[in-house]
């Protein structure tokens, strides 16, 4: 009788450490794909997907369906919630060739609701983008409020120059998207070409930002391994050094396996096995 109690006490006392170690093993397992595609990576990938899906189902039941539908319907006796079940079930008729028109009824309903909401969404979302695109291009002094017209802040030449650049880029990029007719006119042709060129800056910024984002995720994992797991294993001073040594050993092993003659391919790794 005492054995389960002892196990339970041990588990309670060591939950934090276990969570850290499981996290470390999962992190290293997933990063093993950097060497090449392998079964360990596949196992942890599926484990993560299964956990995330299971968690999502559980939380949707506990936080949404149970308090908002099950309890009112079955416990509080609010019988009209039966209609929600009936209408919601119609979605599943999409799998029936004969009765999929019933699914279209409810899909149509939601499309209509969505479309109606988009009117309000568009006004609040896009309209401010349009009217704030109209910017003064000439420096001026402050203008006081007159006859209900609001006061206008002074604009210096530096700000005016920025506004001119903004307007030029806006017009060039917009001219690129005139697809209704052929862009033969030299002005339109060149502005569209310039607009296309300028958009490349944005795509470059997005790509650079993507790299920055991915690096932040890598840093977070390394922080976790070195400070959290390392701290748990050997204390806050020696833990990071210990984990760093282990990482160095793993790097050396991977490089040896990768670069030796007849080694593990060039890292493309598709269909290769560890």
Partner 1 sequence: MNLLRTLQTVDRRVLYALLLLSVTIPFFLTMKIPVKISPSTQKLYDTVESIPEGSFVIFGTDWSAGTRGENGAQTEALMRHVMRHKLRFAILCFDPQSATLAQTIAERLQPEYGYKEGVNWTNWGYRVQEVLFFKALANDVVNTVKADNHGAPIQTLPVMKGVTSAADVKLLLNVNPTNTYTYYIQFLQGPFHIPMVFACTAVMAPEAFNYVESGQISGMLNGLMGAIEYEQLLGVVGRATKDSNCLSFAHLLIIFLMVMGNVAMVLERRAKKAEFSYNAAGGSQ
Residue 221 touches partner 1, criterion: CB under 8 A = yes
Report angle CA 211, 214, 218 to the nearest 5 degrees.
Answer: 135
Give the integer Cα–Cα distance in Å for 269 and 265: 7
Query: For partner 1, how many residues bind (rule: CB under 8 A)?
Result: 49
Residue 220 touches partner 1, criterion: CB under 8 A = yes
- Binding piece for partner 1, criterion CB under 8 A, among 51-59, 98-106, 143-151, 179-187: 51-59
Say if CB 183 and CB 192 are below 8 A apart: yes
Helix 157-176 to helix 186-223 angle (10° resolution) is: 100
Nearer to partner 1, 75 or 124 (CB): 124
Give the integer Cα–Cα distance in Å for 112 and 114: 5
- 152-191 positions binding partner 1, by CB under 8 A: none
Select from 212, 215, 222 the least CA-distant residue to 27.
222
Give the integer Cα–Cα distance in Å for 273 and 266: 13
Site string for partner 1, 97-136 (x = CB under 8 A): --------------------x--xx-xxx--xx--x----
Say if CB 175 and CB 188 are below 8 A apart: yes
Interface residue with partner 1 among 142, 146, 213, 270 (CB under 8 A) is 213
Nearer to partner 1, 9 or 263 (CB): 263
How far apart are CB 222 and partner 1 at their closest, in Å?
5
Residue 49 touches partner 1, criterion: CB under 8 A = no
- Binding piece for partner 1, criterion CB under 8 A, among 11-19, 140-148, 183-191, 222-230: 222-230
Report in angstroms the alpha-carbon separations of 134 from 72, 154, 167: 52, 16, 8
How far apart are CB 125 and partner 1 at their closest, in Å?
5
Interface residue with partner 1 among 87, 165, 171, 205 (CB under 8 A) is 205
Interface residue with partner 1 among 142, 206, 270, 271 (CB under 8 A) is 206
Interface residue with partner 1 among 17, 25, 34, 94 (CB under 8 A) is 34
Nearer to partner 1, 7 or 56 (CB): 56
- 245-274 positions binding partner 1, by CB under 8 A: 247, 251, 254-255, 258-259, 266-267
Select from 136, 178, 129, 130 the least CA-distant residue to 156.
136
Nearer to partner 1, 187 or 211 (CB): 211
Nearer to partner 1, 27 or 183 (CB): 27
- Other residues' Cβ atoms within 10 Å of the Cβ of residue 230: 24
SS (HEC) of 16-78: HHHHHHHHHHHHHHHHHHHCCCCHHHHHHHHHHHHHHHHHHHHHHHHHHHHHHHHHHHHHCCC
Report angle CA 31, 35, 37 to the nearest 5 degrees.
Answer: 85
In the complex, which residues of this chain contact partner 1 (CB under 8 A)? 34-35, 52, 55-56, 59-60, 63-64, 67, 117, 120-121, 123-125, 128-129, 132, 202, 205-206, 209-213, 215-223, 226-227, 240-241, 244, 247, 251, 254-255, 258-259, 266-267
């Amino acid at each position: 009788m005492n054995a389960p109690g002892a196990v339970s006490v041990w588990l309670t006392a060591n939950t934090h450490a276990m969570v850290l170690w499981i996290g470390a093993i999962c992190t290293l397992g997933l990063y093993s794909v950097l060497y090449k595609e392998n079964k360990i990576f596949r196992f942890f990938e599926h484990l993560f997907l299964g956990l995330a899906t299971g968690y999502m189902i559980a939380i949707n039941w506990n936080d949404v369906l149970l308090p908002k539908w099950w309890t009112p319907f079955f416990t509080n006796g609010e019988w009209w919630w039966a209609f929600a079940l009936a209408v919601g079930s119609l979605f599943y008729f999409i799998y029936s060739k004969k009765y999929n028109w019933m699914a279209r009824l409810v899909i149509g309903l939601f499309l209509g609701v969505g479309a109606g909401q988009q009117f309000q969404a568009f006004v609040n979302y896009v309209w401010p983008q349009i009217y704030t695109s109209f910017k003064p291009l000439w420096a001026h002094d402050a203008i006081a409020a007159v006859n209900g017209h609001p006061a206008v802040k002074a604009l210096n030449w530096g700000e005016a120059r920025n506004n001119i650049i903004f307007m030029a880029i806006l017009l060039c990029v917009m001219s690129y998207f005139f697809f209704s007719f052929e862009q033969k006119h030299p002005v339109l042709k060149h502005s569209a070409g310039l607009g296309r060129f300028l958009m490349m800056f944005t795509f470059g910024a997005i790509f650079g930002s993507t790299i920055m984002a991915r690096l932040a995720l890598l840093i977070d994992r390394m922080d976790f391994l070195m400070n959290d797991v390392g701290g748990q294993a050997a204390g806050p001073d020696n833990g990071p050094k210990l984990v760093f040594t282990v990482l160095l050993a793993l790097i050396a092993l991977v490089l040896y396996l990768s670069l030796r003659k007849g080694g593990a391919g060039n890292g493309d790794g598709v269909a290769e096995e560890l």
